[in-house]
Amino acid sequence: MLAPAHQWLFTAFDTAIGHYRRYTKGSLAAVVPPGFRMQELIYLDSVGLLASAANRFVLRSASPTAAQIKLWDRIFVTGSRLLDPLLGHSVGKSVLGIWRKDSST
């Protein structure tokens, strides 16, 4: 399950694309149905976290421009793929949870 992270980053853009909330690792783990065992729970897109925070508090843009999306896809995602493992997947604008159905249930 891939979800947007950190409620403090929530903007009108989230609403426009259908997000209702953002999650932390703890809050995402809390909504998983019983009978599943956590395999992995990590943050992704550390560079994007900084960009999202800048947008939220400085630019205050309701939606990204085409140029911003291109920059995100070409530069920020690549940077995050390199930086995230070095940071131990401890920060990011998205949270990834992987669960496996518990065979004992």
d(CA 68, CA 49): 14
Domain count, the chain: 1
pTM of the complete model: 0.83
Other Cβ atoms less than 10 A from the Cβ of 64: the count is 15
- Residue 76 domain boundaries: 2-101
pLDDT digits (tens, 9 = 90+) for 35-92: 999 999 999 999 989 888 887 888 777 677 788 778 878 888 899 999 999 999 999 9
